[in-house]
Chain A
């Protein structure tokens, strides 16, 4: 049973436009959410995170929005650049979600973003 779901396997956008990647979760005990970016043959690299006490976190071109009532978060990239082309993983953790551990990350399946020049 997938607790973190990324329902779009792929997304294609034009350079300069906005990229919106979506993520849904089912476990209400998750209280910390992260986005990781992964290039081929490399490990995931941390991009941005948000705590459940916030509904928005911004870092440069990247903004994450959290809607707790809908158990939904999204990553906005504005403007999108060709170098942003990668697989993006949504991940979640929470002390109450994993038997008292807040280090255990639960990942979605990822969304392949392609930014076309």
Chain B
């Protein structure tokens, strides 16, 4: 498809496990964003990439969260030693440029037991 894809769609982890969430942006989109959406809340900004450069990681809640986009295309959000408060839907979005319309993927629902 031509949209943003994310995998897995659902992930259940035991507390303390590490998880990796993948985002495939729309081809040619320079900008990539990660958001966290807790239950009953709106999406909250986590981090922003322009190509392979992570220009803003001000929204990452702790140093257990790490994101990368090594070749300027696919991105991975890694959460180490997951905690129950990490349970949320993690949304990825991409756009042509930083100020352009952001296209969202379907999200990965992470449940930490």
Residues of A that sit less than 8 Å from B by CB: 4, 36, 41-46, 89, 91, 99, 101-110
Shortest CB-to-CB span from B56 to chain A, Å, is 6
Q: Which of B14-22, B69-77, B97-105 is near enough to bind chain A?
A: B97-105
A sample of 18 inter-chain contacts (CB < 8 A) reads A41-B106, A42-B106, A43-B4, A43-B91, A43-B104, A43-B105, A44-B104, A45-B103, A45-B104, A46-B103, A89-B42, A89-B43, A91-B42, A101-B48, A101-B56, A105-B43, A107-B44, A109-B41
B-side interface residues, number (CB < 8 Å): 26
For A89, what are the chain B residues with a Cβ–Cβ distance below 8 Å?
Answer: 42-43
Q: Is the CB of B43 within 8 A of A107?
A: yes
Q: Is the CB of A108 within 8 A of B42?
A: yes
For A104, what are the chain B residues with a Cβ–Cβ distance below 8 Å?
Answer: 45, 48, 56, 59
Shortest CB-to-CB span from A113 to chain B, Å, is 15
B76-99 residues at the A interface, CB under 8 angstroms: 91, 93, 95, 98-99
Q: Is the CB of A109 within 8 A of B42?
A: yes
Shortest CB-to-CB span from A73 to chain B, Å, is 15
For B41, what are the chain A residues with a Cβ–Cβ distance below 8 Å?
Answer: 109
Q: How far apart sit A102 and B19, CA to CA, in the bound complex (Å)?
A: 30
Q: Is the CB of A105 within 8 A of B102?
A: yes
Closest to B48 in A: A103
Q: How far apart sit A15 and B111, CA to CA, in the bound complex (Å)?
A: 37
For B59, what are the chain A residues with a Cβ–Cβ distance below 8 Å?
Answer: 104
Q: Is the CB of B45 within 8 A of A105?
A: yes
For B42, what are the chain A residues with a Cβ–Cβ distance below 8 Å?
Answer: 4, 89, 91, 107-110
Q: How far apart sit A44 and B104, CA to CA, in the bound complex (Å)?
A: 6
